[in-house]
């Protein structure tokens, strides 16, 4: 199976009615918008998994449980998955090779961008960010311009860290342990591998970026999901534009 990536708009998805999902939603205390997002996530997880496996879309999923820090997984299955959503889109990555990480960011403004970049980025990355920030200001781009290259640089590199953290299952608590030196990320939480980023617009109608790990040449296949004229979900294969690639090494 290798790697399969699926995307959809939340507005085109139904909601799961599986009693196990409803019980989990109650157990973790989701309400209102967060509850709706959860139900749509599980609906799409089932549809994408069944499409990938060549099964009817209403075939029930294996039981889903969560690791200590909340990362979901299938019980008794060799298939790993990771979910991300940004803007109005949801993406799911599957692998039968190993645990996977996936993160997406739409092009959007961030508050206190410079202080956030200084806190998150490595010294090397922050120097690059600062140079881009100066170039943006010299070009007369306002602080609320989405054309600022410093903003785009930060958002892309933020997906790298989020992706590695989501692969590990630790969450933001592990952020400070990730560093980058030249073309390599160093992380105490992840095994050696390749991290790759792609254009979000290739897989859904959003401007931005998404990153996957590990992304060795294992035949990544990408599909966009939408409703047909009869209201049924259909899947269209998409070609992806790779933006950058980094090696990841385990650090002490």
Over the stretch 57-66, which tens digit does the pLDDT of each residue have?
889 999 999 9
Q: Which residues of the chain have pLDDT under 50?
A: none
Considering the entire predicted model, what is its pTM? 0.95
Q: Would residue 117 count as lying in a domain?
A: no
Residue 191 domain boundaries = 3-108+147-250
What was the pLDDT predicted at 218?
Answer: 61
Q: Are 45 and 94 in contact (CB under 8 A)?
A: no
Contact partners, residue 75, CB within 8 Å, separation at least 6? 62, 63, 64, 65
Q: Would residue 172 count as lying in a domain?
A: yes
Q: Would residue 183 count as lying in a domain?
A: yes
Q: Would residue 236 count as lying in a domain?
A: yes
Helical ranges in 62-147 per DSSP H: 113-120, 123-138
Q: Would residue 96 count as lying in a domain?
A: yes
What was the pLDDT predicted at 229?
Answer: 85
What was the pLDDT predicted at 70?
Answer: 87
Q: Would residue 137 count as lying in a domain?
A: no
Q: Would residue 238 count as lying in a domain?
A: yes
What was the pLDDT predicted at 68?
Answer: 86
What was the pLDDT predicted at 89?
Answer: 97
What was the pLDDT predicted at 252?
Answer: 78
Contact partners, residue 153, CB within 8 Å, separation at least 6? 128, 129, 132
Q: Are 36 and 60 in contact (CB under 8 A)?
A: no
* Number of structural domains in the chain: 1
Q: Would residue 72 count as lying in a domain?
A: yes
């Amino acid at each position: 199976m290798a790697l399969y990536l699926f995307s959809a708009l939340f507005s085109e998805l139904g909601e799961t009615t599986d009693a196990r999902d409803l019980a989990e939603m109650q157990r973790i205390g989701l309400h209102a918008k967060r509850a709706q997002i959860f139900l749509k996530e599980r609906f799409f997880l089932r549809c994408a998994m069944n499409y990938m496996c060549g099964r009817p879309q209403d075939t029930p999923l294996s039981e889903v449980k969560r690791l200590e820090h909340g990362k979901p997984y299938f019980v008794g299955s060799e298939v790993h998955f990771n979910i991300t959503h940004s803007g109005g889109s949801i993406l799911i990555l599957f692998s039968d090779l190993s645990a996977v990480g996936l993160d997406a960011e739409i092009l959007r403004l961030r508050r206190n961008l410079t202080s956030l970049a200084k806190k998150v980025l490595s010294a090397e990355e922050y120097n690059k960010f600062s140079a881009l920030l100066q170039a943006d200001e010299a070009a007369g781009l306002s602080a609320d311009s989405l054309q600022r290259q410093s903003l785009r640089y930060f958002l892309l590199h933020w997906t790298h860290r989020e992706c590695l953290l989501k692969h590990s299952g630790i969450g933001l608590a592990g952020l400070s342990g990730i560093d980058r030196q030249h073309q390599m990320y160093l992380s105490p939480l992840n095994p050696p591998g390749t991290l790759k980023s792609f254009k979000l617009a290739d897989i859904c109608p959003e401007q931005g970026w998404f990153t996957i790990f590990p992304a060795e040449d294992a035949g990544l296949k990408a599909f966009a999901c939408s409703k047909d004229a009869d209201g049924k979900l259909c899947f269209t294969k998409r070609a992806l534009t790779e933006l950058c690639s980094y090696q990841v090494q385990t650090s002490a």
